[in-house]
Amino acid sequence: MSVTAPTITSFLPPHRTLMGPGPSDVPQRILDAMARPTIGHLDPAFTDMMEQTKTLLRYAFQTENKLTFPVSGPGSVGMETCFVNLVEPGDKVIVCSNGVFGGRMLENVKRCGGVPIVVEDAWGRAVDVAKVEAAFMAHPDTKILAFVHAETSTGAQSDAATLAAIARKHGALTIMDCVTSLGGTPVLIDAWGIDAAYSGSQKCLSCTPGLSPVTFSERAIEKVRARTTPVQSWFMDLNLVLGYWSGEGKRTYHHTAPINPLYGLHEALLILAEEGIEKAWARHRTMHEALKHGLEGMGLSFLVPSDERLPQLNSVLLPEGIDDAACRARLLNEFNLEIGAGLGALAGKIWRIGLMGASASQKNVDTCLKAMAAVLAV
């Protein structure tokens, strides 16, 4: 052979405490589920589990939407699935941009041939609903409002209920990013009237990364069905995906689903249902209060005003004279603790401390506070 076999051994990962912006700590129960025997993606036993997973996801999203399923890819694929299906060339889309993921939405709109109307807000602040209302007044032919409920890059939470109501009043559909909120703070798809939403498996659901739960309202499905141009992506085309995930009549082959990761997601959603979603939300709030108390006691302050703050993602400002990378390296190497760096304009200015899913525990709060105190020498 021209390319010879490399000498490499099995990978044995270190045990970390994951308190960055995701992945969060994955409970052993979920890891064990992922290690169960692989079966075929058209096996009746597997399709039964798929139906259960859809039911469990409807609970997590608080929706009756029939089209609720996990996309076979990370959150970015869930995002793109929403945009390529709902945005037709020439559609005006109001995109709220207050962080990295609003910017990614904008990029998606452009690549779909949509006409973006950008509503800018400062990184670290919620979306200003008055600006969105004004954008609709200026562009009454807007087809879609797209916003990030929980900005993973800043830790700011926006008022999804009000934003969705504005969109509906103006006859537009909504696309909501709830990657970091699902399971951590209320996500009420039906009560708010959201038309399309996507999330990720590795945040407050505490599963491994790689799957993106999505949900679509009937109004959203009608827009996809009424398209006059084909969806630009074959893989993400809901008209085709529906044949596999819909469960109506014969299930047709579309792609080979990621079997074992789906075992993991099923178990993760089961853990959420067992705890009860309201208790999970309350736990995230309680742990946030405990962490905040400790961090403020060390003199650290938050990027986001308290009434716009996500409990599960705590962005703290770096103290003066602190070496960002060196501190995070110490946390990782001496304490096996991962926290997140700032992204984009916030690189070197903030740390993002996640309290997501199983990571929202007193044990993790204690670990984090102890390690931070040592590294900051306070």
184 binds a copy of itself (CB under 8 A): no
Q: Which is nearer to a copy of itself, 98 or 180 (CB)?
A: 180
Site for a copy of itself, residues 114 to 153, rule: CB under 8 A: none
Site string for a copy of itself, 236-255 (x = CB under 8 A): -----------------xxx
194 binds a copy of itself (CB under 8 A): no
Q: Which is nearer to a copy of itself, 126 or 164 (CB)?
A: 164
156 binds a copy of itself (CB under 8 A): no
Q: Which is nearer to a copy of itself, 124 or 261 (CB)?
A: 261
63 phi and psi angles, rounded to 5 deg: -145, 155
Tell me whether residue 303 is exposed, middle or buried, using C-beta atoms within 10 angstroms of its C-beta: 0 to 12, 13 to 18, 19 or more.
buried
The tokens describing 229, both together, are: 């141009």
Indicate which single residue of 193, 227, 235, 317 sits in contact with a copy of itself (rule: CB under 8 A): 235
Amino acid identity of residue 160, one-letter, is: A
Taking the complex as a whole, the smallest distance from the CB of residue 35 to a copy of itself amounts, in Å, to 4
Taking the complex as a whole, the smallest distance from the CB of residue 174 to a copy of itself amounts, in Å, to 19
Taking the complex as a whole, the smallest distance from the CB of residue 215 to a copy of itself amounts, in Å, to 11
Q: How far is CA 161 from each of CA 92, 114, 213, rounded to the nearest angstrom?
A: 21, 24, 20
The tokens describing 315, both together, are: 């962005």
Taking the complex as a whole, the smallest distance from the CB of residue 199 to a copy of itself amounts, in Å, to 12
Site for a copy of itself, residues 39 to 58, rule: CB under 8 A: 39-41, 43-46, 49, 52, 55-56, 58
Indicate which single residue of 101, 147, 263, 351 sits in contact with a copy of itself (rule: CB under 8 A): 263
Residue with token string 């996309």: 71
Q: Do the Cβ atoms of 322 and 342 come closer than 8 Å?
A: no
Instruction: Please tell me the distance from the alpha carbon of residue 311 to that of residue 317, in angstroms, as a whole number.
Output: 16
Q: Do the Cβ atoms of 175 and 196 come closer than 8 Å?
A: yes
Instruction: Give the helix/strand (H/E) hosting 270.
Output: helix 259-275
Instruction: Please tell me the distance from the alpha carbon of residue 56 to that of residue 152, in angstroms, as a whole number.
Output: 24
Contacts of 361 (CB under 8 A, 6+ apart): 287
Q: Which is nearer to a copy of itself, 159 or 338 (CB)?
A: 338
Q: How far is CA 133 from the centre of its chain?
A: 25
Would you put residue 37 in left (φ > 0), alpha (ψ -120 to 50) or beta? beta
Q: Which is nearer to a copy of itself, 20 or 126 (CB)?
A: 20
312 binds a copy of itself (CB under 8 A): no
Indicate which single residue of 137, 226, 228, 278 sits in contact with a copy of itself (rule: CB under 8 A): 278
Site string for a copy of itself, 331-360 (x = CB under 8 A): -x-----x----x-----------------
